[in-house]
Amino acid sequence: MGSMSTESPKPSSDPKPASGDVAESGKSRAVMIARIVGILCVAGGFVLGLQGLDTPDSPLLPTALGMIVAGMLAQVFALLRSWYLSS
């Protein structure tokens, strides 16, 4: 039968990330999530706003405005967070 070696696996040559790198990765993930949410809210707000212009008595216009404001706030959060990460 074939010979089975009992060699232990070689340690990885890649160094483990420092704890600061892991924390920075989590912060950059928060920035990306905020940017994606901001883009989706602004785009959805404009779509709802266009639908609301067809029916002015519907609650779509205030909802669209709220979504656009929420998207802009998410974008500002992402901008400030990314500035904080770079400094």
Residue-wise pLDDT for 27-51, tens only, equals 788 899 999 999 999 999 999 999 9
Q: Where do the structural domains in the chain lie, given as residue ranges?
A: 22-86
Is the pLDDT confidence value at 15 over 80? Answer: no
Residue type, 46: F
pTM metric for this prediction: 0.68
For residues 58 and 52, the answer to whether their CB atoms sit within 8 Å is yes
Farthest CA pair distance, the chain: 82
- pLDDT for position 21: 61
**67 vs 65: CA distance, rounded Å:** 5
pLDDT bin (cut points 50, 70, 90) of residue 18 is: low
